[in-house]
Amino acid sequence: MNSASRLHILDLLRGVAIVGTLATNIWIFSNPGSATLMPMDQGQSVVEVLQSVFVNGNFLAMLTILFGVGLYMKYQNSKASEVPWIPFYLLTMFILFIEGLFHFVFIFEYDILMTYAITGAIVAFLVQLKTKTITIWVIVTLSLHTFGILIYYMQTYIAFSDPTLYTAIQQIALETTSLYQFGTYFEQVLYRIENFFLLRSEAFSLIYGSIGLYLIGIRLYLAGAFNMDKKGILIQKKLMFWGFGIGLPLNLLSLVPGGYFEIPVRFLFAPVLTIGYIGLIAWLMNRGALRWIQKQFEVIGRTALSCYVLQSILASLYFYSFGLGFIGVDGILAVVVGVVLISICMLGFAHLTLKTFGVGPLEWLWKTLSKMPFKNRRYSAK
């Protein structure tokens, strides 16, 4: 298989992951306090049920896996250049961290770029290991992640079973929603700055899981899962079989009344179903199905970083007080309309920037700053 075909698959997957991430995060924009409350404390419409089974956590996991693939491709390219791998990639991750920090402070407190930057800085050292050793690291990091989630699971339900703590959590949720519904933009920025470590605690606590998913992306790439040949198709079918066969029943546990499985579904089971999605999307592309739709997702995927930040800007303008203020306005309808409108805007933005500049603005900035210290050396890392 040629590298161009493989890049098409990866762009397609990134585009799907970005739109899926929007469908996940938009619920937080529509009700900022909901991230504090457990799902069992909220009403579940049909749309929310479908989102909790098929969307919540799945596409963030896909994006994480694809960041691992991107890391390995940069590592491959760096070996053919005079650019030293570790200094180069640590610099790219530092720049990504700064972009994520700006995203957090000025737009959205549930930024993932800072987490990816820290994860990438760690995996940059692991990517140089032998394949079998990488597999061992997958097992170790995901085991540690599972252990941490189980502790978090127990602590959460203990806290929610305490009436005093539960009332305090509800109050925090109401105050958070009120801030974004009625507060000024500067009050919201100040809130994110003052509560940086509290708001980032969940993301940084998921580092082990992120490392594991990065390494899974590398293993899938090395195995040929993104190839458009017989071997690639066989792997894609296996991913569908195991991903849907195991992941779907596990994700359906989120339908159990009371929300008792919401935490393990979100943080443990969703990535299993994600593997099935990756296999299905790659298999459909190999078959040439839905070609026009694939092309649109590819366009978004080629500007994934810019579109990720853009969706946060548009969602905040759509829901928050300094924009249209749709928080509390028929939540389900506002969310569905928001996903459609923002997706259309992202697609139009991606088409425009690629046609005009050939690259997304944040992609250009990231690549330019990363290359700057090495501009006198032969450079091939993309």
Alpha-carbon torsion angle 28, 29, 32, 35, nearest 10:
10
- In this predicted structure, what is the pLDDT of residue 375? 72
- In this predicted structure, what is the pLDDT of residue 376? 65
Whole-angstrom Cα distance, residue 359 to residue 336?
29
- In this predicted structure, what is the pLDDT of residue 132? 93
Query: 10 Å Cβ neighbour count for 375?
Result: 8
In the structure encoding, which two tokens stand for residue 356, read together? 């005009």
Whole-angstrom Cα distance, residue 131 to residue 156?
37
Q: Residue 3, exposed/middle/buried by CB under 10 A (0-12, 13-18, 19+)?
A: exposed
Q: Give the pLDDT confidence of 196-237 residue by residue, as tens digits.
A: 988 888 777 889 999 999 999 999 999 999 988 889 999 999
Q: Give the pLDDT confidence of 90-121 residue by residue, as tens digits.
A: 999 999 999 999 999 999 999 999 999 999 99
Query: 10 Å Cβ neighbour count for 15?
Result: 27
- In this predicted structure, what is the pLDDT of residue 156? 83
Q: Give the pLDDT confidence of 110-164 residue by residue, as tens digits.
A: 999 999 999 999 999 999 999 999 999 999 999 999 999 999 888 888 887 888 8
